[in-house]
């Protein structure tokens, strides 16, 4: 009986090991960084919403998001940013390659792929150097609708957003939509 369990355990390891080895170490590292970034961001957001409501919390996305991204960049050596097909801040507008990937993400979602599982990676040459690029779709959660939804956005939030972002396109999202993507890059 005991040997049966041992054999099963060994079998399980031999099945899972090659699958894990299949994940490119750069992809694994990028995913880890995104997890850290997103967890930190959502934590700050929830805290700010609780403390002073959505108008107060706008500053988290406005000031803290780029700061957290810069801190992570400094610590890890990776370029970290966010982009979207419908950006709020003009500085987050997608580059041509990012736009193409975001459009592919929408097509994958339309074909039934869960947003959480949608990502992209490649290696390109930039200024004679090899660069690893990674993008991961960001799902729209319920809390996001306070500032990225339609009717959920309160008039005072709307007012503040219009003051800060006159060309805001990041509205009208529904839960489960792709809000945008994380973009990570590293020189190899």
The reply to whether 144 sits near ligand HEC by the rule CB under 6 A is: yes
Which pair of structure tokens corresponds to residue 95?
């580059």
Q: Please, which residues bridge with residue 119 across strands?
A: 136
Q: Closest by alpha carbon to 157, among 29, 80, 60, 44?
A: 60
Q: In 23-64, which ranges are continuous DSSP H helix?
A: 25-59
- Angle subtended at Cα 28 by Cα 23 and Cα 29, rounded to the nearest 5 degrees: 150
C-alpha dihedral, 76 to 77 to 83 to 88, nearest 10°: 80
| Piece in contact with ligand HEC (CB under 6 A), picked from 9-17, 23-31, 104-112, 134-142 | 134-142
62 DSSP 8-state letter: I
The reply to whether 40 sits near ligand HEC by the rule CB under 6 A is: no
| Piece in contact with ligand HEC (CB under 6 A), picked from 14-22, 28-36, 50-58, 115-123 | 50-58
Least distance between ligand HEC and beta carbon 42 (Å) = 5
The reply to whether 57 sits near ligand HEC by the rule CB under 6 A is: yes
- Answer for which of 34, 88, 135, 184 binds ligand HEC (CB under 6 A) is 88
| DSSP-based three-state secondary structure for 150 | coil
* Closer residue to ligand HEC in complex, CB, 58/184: 58
Q: Which positions lie near ligand HEC, rule CB under 6 A?
A: 42, 45, 54, 57-58, 61-62, 65-66, 82, 84, 87-89, 92, 138, 140-141, 143-144, 146-148, 170, 179-180
């Amino acid at each position: 009986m005991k040997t049966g369990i041992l054999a099963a355990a060994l079998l399980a390891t031999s099945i899972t090991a090659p699958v894990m080895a299949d994940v490119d170490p750069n992809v694994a590292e990028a995913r880890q960084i995104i997890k850290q970034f997103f967890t930190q961001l959502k934590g700050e957001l929830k805290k700010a919403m609780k403390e002073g409501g959505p108008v107060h919390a706008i500053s988290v996305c406005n000031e803290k998001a780029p700061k957290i991204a810069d801190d992570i960049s400094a610590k890890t050596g990776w370029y970290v940013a966010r982009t979207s097909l419908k950006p709020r801040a003009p500085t987050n507008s997608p580059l041509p390659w990012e736009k193409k990937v975001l459009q592919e993400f929408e097509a994958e979602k339309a074909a039934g792929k869960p947003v959480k599982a949608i990502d992209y990676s490649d290696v390109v040459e930039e200024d004679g150097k090899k660069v690893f690029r990674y993008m991961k779709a960001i799902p729209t959660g319920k809390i996001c609708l306070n500032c990225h939804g339609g009717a959920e956005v309160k008039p005072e939030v709307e007012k503040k957003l219009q003051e800060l972002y006159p060309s805001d396109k990041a509205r009208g999202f529904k839960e489960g939509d792709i809000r945008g993507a994380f973009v990570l890059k590293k020189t190899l």
